[in-house]
Chains A and B, each alone.
Chain A
Amino acid sequence: MPDTMIGQSPIRIDGRAKVTGAARYPSDVVVPNPAWAFLVTSAIALGRITAIEEAEARAVPGVLEILTHRNMRGTVRDAGFFAAGGYAAETIRPLEDDRIWHDGQIVAMVLADSFEAAREAAFRLRVDYAAVTPAAGFGSASATTEPAAKARQGHEDPQVGDADAAFAAAPVKIEADYATPTQHHNPIELFTTTALWEGGKLVIHEPSQYVTGIRHGVATQLGLDPQQVRVESHYVGGAFGSKGSLTQRTALVAIAARRLGRPVKLVPTRDQGFTIATYRAETRQHVKLAADRDGKLQALVHEGTEVTSRPDPYKVAGTQTTARMYDCPNVRTKVTLLHADRNTPGFMRSPPEVPYMFALESAVDELAVALKLDPIELRRRNDSKKEPIKGLPWSSRGLMRCYEAGAEAFGWSRRNPEPRSMREGDWLIGWGCASTIYPTHIGAATARVTLTPDGQARVQTAAHDIGTGAYTVIAQAAAEMLGLPLEKVQVALGDSDLPPAPVAGGSNTTASVCNVVAEACGQIRARLARAAVEDGPLKGRDPASLKLVSGELRAADGTAEALPEAMSRAANGAIEAYAEYLPQGMPKESMRKLYSGKQALGGGIAEGPLAMAAFGAEFVEVRVHARTAEVRVPRVLGAFAAGRIVNPRTARSQLMGGLIWGIGSALHEETEIDHGRARYVNDNILEYLIPVNADAPKVEVMLLEETDTGVNPLGIKGLGELGNVGTNAAIANAVFHATGRRARELPIRIESLL
């Protein structure tokens, strides 16, 4: 057994359950005698319900009940917008009244003895509407705009110096508009919910990135004590941000189960998932970038406008990152929200960075062309030890090391910078690169660790494994701190009855949870050590000097006591520790927020005292067909510096998946909208194109060593959202290199290049 588990690459501890079908996702929970729910969603985007004709639906054998605003008004209380101290992804109260705010809004829930009967009755429910012409988004006459600084308390648009004057005076400059589309997460597990009441306690099985948040949100909506609500989500079949906040369906299923007095199971359809959950908002961005003749940046102006819903001020606001990416003395940014008759957007993997870094990293490439400078060299000349807005020092910044290692491995020096200069038969070859950054977030977290006399450890925390490998890396952290083999550690996650942990968002889980688990294990070690120095082979030693290694408590000179003896000296049975971890620099109220299910992450690049982020350099080769303009991506390489890597195997998978997400973002993914009706058109995964196996290229992931003791005690940076930032720009830059055509609107399609 290695002395250290952190940094090893064991196979996922939940892997066997996943390859045998034994893993029970929330959608798989079998409950006795369930009633089945089927949603009816609105066929218009704006207006009112004028009539609901239920007779035909109720005549379907097996139908039990139909919930509409007529029998639900006043039932579900307001849970508040998650970004304003509440819990909900969208503040429209479910089935509250006859008003339609967006396409696909839940207007009824049909309950029946079988799935088939509920579905048939849902199709037979007639809903009549008085429709009003909606605003679909950009270009819609009735859309309204407001600055994010006005819409969102605490929002500041980063700025420094005088960007407009510096831009006017600079000798080399570019100015361009960029556009990014609506994208939907489309996790493969649907947005299901099963609810049952056990005595006075409500149990909810729902794939979730935040079981504690759902518990408190539903308790608020139903007027329950949070202790009466339990949310379980032991596995999550993909989330990517879509399962982080409370959506309308959960309370409805809970209420249905209470009214019927039996468990209720809801399996929404794939297309309903496009409107009953969130999505990545489309953006329009304007960038001005200027440098002196040596390529030293002089000015950056980055303005973005983003779609949100009528009632909710969701913001993407990636200017928080782009303003700080490079050393630039004059920066001005602004974010504006555009309210349209749409469902409320939300977090989608690297929410701010994917759209906004596309614009910045495209603009940097355009500036490099204008300067006749290699794009990597341009970035090197504007690398910095401090972020430029507040002058916060980076805790570590591996960007240029990533470029150096990546360029070497990719063969960048063989690139002829001239567009259209590399060709193989009918295929134009383009090589492009771009930077990635993801702020290192961290949150207050709690955990309970129990060491039993047989040398088994049990870790309990209400964190989540959404496919990231959390079960495994948390077990590795505990195994390392307790000196146990990995197979002696059990990890329980995804249950709101466990000690609370943060939302699985902002790539914080590994850092937050491994640190709190380490703290709990440290308490156990301390208790064992205090007892061991009283008597036995370690008598009289300094307890602080004793370590748990390879199944024994060991002094620096090798004198040791085996764990069973040390255990019996310290306790009659198990030793249990409950730890609360409040990351350095976070306010004390963060812990209280955690216990009440609020989202309160800290760290990152804007708050200080340090600017903390993971970095990377991404390289892609594209092939663009000279006659048809078809774009293919045969290879992608990413070099990343992301602090201490707990498990290189799962880290590589995360980054590889992220890079392929980046390809989807650049070339495939767009939710098409009927602009007249504000309805999604391609709301299924046949026509919403996510990458398939044949789209996935050769992917190379390089993990650079990085020691950063400034971020947190274990030196961990999150990386789940690092891989898919910048990839879209690297591809656009490669397409420019291949064709001489600059694509500033995503996704890049054949018609963009004709």
Chain B
Amino acid sequence: MTTQPTPGVVGRRSLLGSGAVSAAAPLLAVAPAAAQPTPILKETAVLDLVLRVNGQEHRLALDPRVTLLDALREELGLTGAKKGCDQGQCGACTVLLDGRRVLSCLTLAARAAGGAVTTIEGLATEDGGLHPMQQAFLDHDAFQCGYCTPGQIMSAIGCVQEGHAGTPDEIREAMSGNLCRCAAYPNIVAAIEQAKPQMAGRRTERG
């Protein structure tokens, strides 16, 4: 079993490695004030920004501390991305930012402004046709409770697009930042193997 972190893969296995460099800034932003007293801001700062999500632009006025995950869920009503730990350990919040997997709970909304965000809601075509990865997850029963599934599917698309789906072992390693407590893992690997050839020439990054 290789234990080399796969570049670009975030989550439990690489959190302490290079994969989570982007985590540093948001972690500082939410550090418990009690640990090192900081003055209370008298007024809540407001940040005006534009988020491009699934091809649509949204103008938002946000508390600068708001994460991309909370902006998607609470401001835009896109609740497909899930909150499972809010600290970058479970992968349930995985979305694509400019075609790459990111943990939206460790990404400030401000950091995503100007980029193209794709969420699970943006995968199916307008007439309801499923992305090959969504269909593969259905075909292989690659979920049970389904809560981690949007993150698994976004991560699986990223895994294929990044070229990390060469072998089942490579898929297992590259998907190990997305926890599935129901343990549908073998079926997830089978689904990715089915979808991979169908994704040739297709790239998901429209924001």
Binding site for B on A (CB under 8 A): 11-12, 14-25, 27-28, 30, 56, 59-62, 114-117, 119-120, 123-124, 126, 185-190, 235-240, 267, 269-270, 466-469, 632, 649-650, 652-654, 656-658, 660-661, 664, 684-686, 690-696, 698-699
Q: Is A187 a contact partner of B44 (Cβ separation < 8 A)?
A: no
A466 to B181, CA, bound (A): 12
Q: Is B119 a contact partner of A21 (Cβ separation < 8 A)?
A: yes
Q: Is A270 a contact partner of B89 (Cβ separation < 8 A)?
A: yes
Q: B96: shortest Cβ distance to chain A, in Å?
A: 13
Q: Is B134 a contact partner of A124 (Cβ separation < 8 A)?
A: no
A301 to B160, CA, bound (A): 54
B166 proximal to A (CB < 8 A): no
Q: B42: shortest Cβ distance to chain A, in Å?
A: 7
Cβ 8 A contact of B120, one of A21, A114, A686, A690 = A21
Q: Is A686 a contact partner of B65 (Cβ separation < 8 A)?
A: no
List A contacts of B34 (CB < 8 A).
123-124, 126
A749 to B65, CA, bound (A): 40
Instruction: Report the nearest B residue to A186, measured CB to CB.
Output: B181
A61 to B72, CA, bound (A): 23
The 10 nearest A-B residue pairs measured at CB: A21-B80, A237-B147, A467-B145, A18-B146, A467-B144, A28-B79, A21-B120, A660-B183, A696-B185, A657-B183
Contact with A along B58-87 (1 / 0, CB 8 A): 000001011000100110011111111111
B21 proximal to A (CB < 8 A): no
Q: Is A15 a contact partner of B183 (Cβ separation < 8 A)?
A: no
A660 to B1, CA, bound (A): 18
Q: Is B146 a contact partner of A30 (Cβ separation < 8 A)?
A: no
A188 to B11, CA, bound (A): 14
Q: A120-B33, A123-B34 given as contacts; is B145 within 8 A of A236 (CB)?
A: yes
Q: How large is the interface on B (under 10, 10 to 19, 20 to 34, 35 or more residues)?
A: 35 or more
Contact with A along B142-161 (1 / 0, CB 8 A): 01111111100100000000
B32 proximal to A (CB < 8 A): yes
Q: Is B182 a contact partner of A657 (Cβ separation < 8 A)?
A: yes
Q: B93: shortest Cβ distance to chain A, in Å?
A: 10
Q: Knowing that A15-B146, A24-B79, A653-B182 are A-B contacts, what are 17 other residue pairs whose CB atoms are under 8 Å apart, sorted by A's residue number?
A: A12-B141, A17-B146, A19-B143, A19-B146, A25-B79, A25-B147, A116-B65, A235-B146, A238-B145, A267-B86, A270-B86, A467-B146, A660-B183, A684-B85, A690-B181, A696-B172, A696-B185
Q: A185: shortest Cβ distance to chain B, in Å?
A: 8
Q: Is A685 a contact partner of B141 (Cβ separation < 8 A)?
A: no
List A contacts of B145 (CB < 8 A).
187-189, 235-239, 466-467
Q: A120-B33, A653-B187 given as contacts; is B40 within 8 A of A60 (CB)?
A: yes
Q: A124-B33, A188-B148, A238-B145 given as contacts; is B130 within 8 A of A19 (CB)?
A: yes
List B contacts of A61 (CB < 8 A).
40-44
Q: Is B89 a contact partner of A30 (Cβ separation < 8 A)?
A: no
List B contacts of A114 (CB < 8 A).
44, 63
Instruction: Report the nearest A residue to B78, measured CB to CB.
Output: A21
Main secondary structure of the interface of A (DSSP, over half): loop
B48 proximal to A (CB < 8 A): no
Main secondary structure of the interface of B (DSSP, over half): loop
Q: Is A694 a contact partner of B13 (Cβ separation < 8 A)?
A: yes
List B contacts of A238 (CB < 8 A).
145, 147, 181-182
Interface-central residue, B66, B153, B181, by most chain A CB under 10 Å = B181
Instruction: Report the nearest B residue to A650, measured CB to CB.
Output: B141
Q: A20-B80, A692-B176 given as contacts; is B181 within 8 A of A188 (CB)?
A: yes
List B contacts of A189 (CB < 8 A).
82, 84, 145, 147
Cβ 8 A contact of A19, one of B13, B66, B137 = B137
Q: Is A190 a contact partner of B40 (Cβ separation < 8 A)?
A: no
Q: A120: shortest Cβ distance to chain B, in Å?
A: 6
List B contacts of A190 (CB < 8 A).
83-85
B184 proximal to A (CB < 8 A): yes
Q: B190: shortest Cβ distance to chain A, in Å?
A: 11
> 11 A-B contacts, Cβ less than 8 Å apart?
A20-B124, A21-B81, A27-B83, A123-B34, A187-B145, A657-B183, A691-B185, A692-B12, A693-B173, A693-B176, A693-B189
Q: A681: shortest Cβ distance to chain B, in Å?
A: 16
Cβ 8 A contact of A20, one of B1, B86, B121, B177 = B121
Q: A18-B143, A21-B150 given as contacts; is B79 within 8 A of A30 (CB)?
A: yes
Q: Is A188 a contact partner of B120 (Cβ separation < 8 A)?
A: no
List B contacts of A120 (CB < 8 A).
33
Q: B103: shortest Cβ distance to chain A, in Å?
A: 13
List B contacts of A119 (CB < 8 A).
30
Residues of B2-37 at the interface with A, using a CB-CB cut-off of 8 Å, are 12-13, 15, 30, 32-34
A259 to B3, CA, bound (A): 52
List A contacts of B41 (CB < 8 A).
61
Q: Is B144 a contact partner of A19 (Cβ separation < 8 A)?
A: no
Q: A190-B84, A235-B146, A632-B1 given as contacts; is B179 within 8 A of A62 (CB)?
A: no
Q: A187-B181, A653-B144, A694-B172 given as contacts; is B137 within 8 A of A685 (CB)?
A: no
List B contacts of A16 (CB < 8 A).
130, 138
B175 proximal to A (CB < 8 A): yes
Instruction: Report the nearest B residue to A16, measured CB to CB.
Output: B138
List B contacts of A694 (CB < 8 A).
1, 13, 172-173, 176
List B contacts of A685 (CB < 8 A).
12, 84-85, 89-90, 179
Cβ 8 A contact of B181, one of A60, A240, A656 = A240
List A contacts of B135 (CB < 8 A).
19
Q: Is B183 a contact partner of A696 (Cβ separation < 8 A)?
A: yes
A669 to B78, CA, bound (A): 33
Instruction: Report the nearest A residue to B11, measured CB to CB.
Output: A692
Q: Is B83 a contact partner of A267 (Cβ separation < 8 A)?
A: yes
Interface-central residue, B66, B86, B121, by most chain A CB under 10 Å = B86
A189 to B66, CA, bound (A): 20
B165 proximal to A (CB < 8 A): no
Q: A33: shortest Cβ distance to chain B, in Å?
A: 12
Q: A474: shortest Cβ distance to chain B, in Å?
A: 16
A468 to B63, CA, bound (A): 39
Q: A20-B80, A654-B144, A693-B176 given as contacts; is B138 within 8 A of A115 (CB)?
A: no
List A contacts of B119 (CB < 8 A).
21
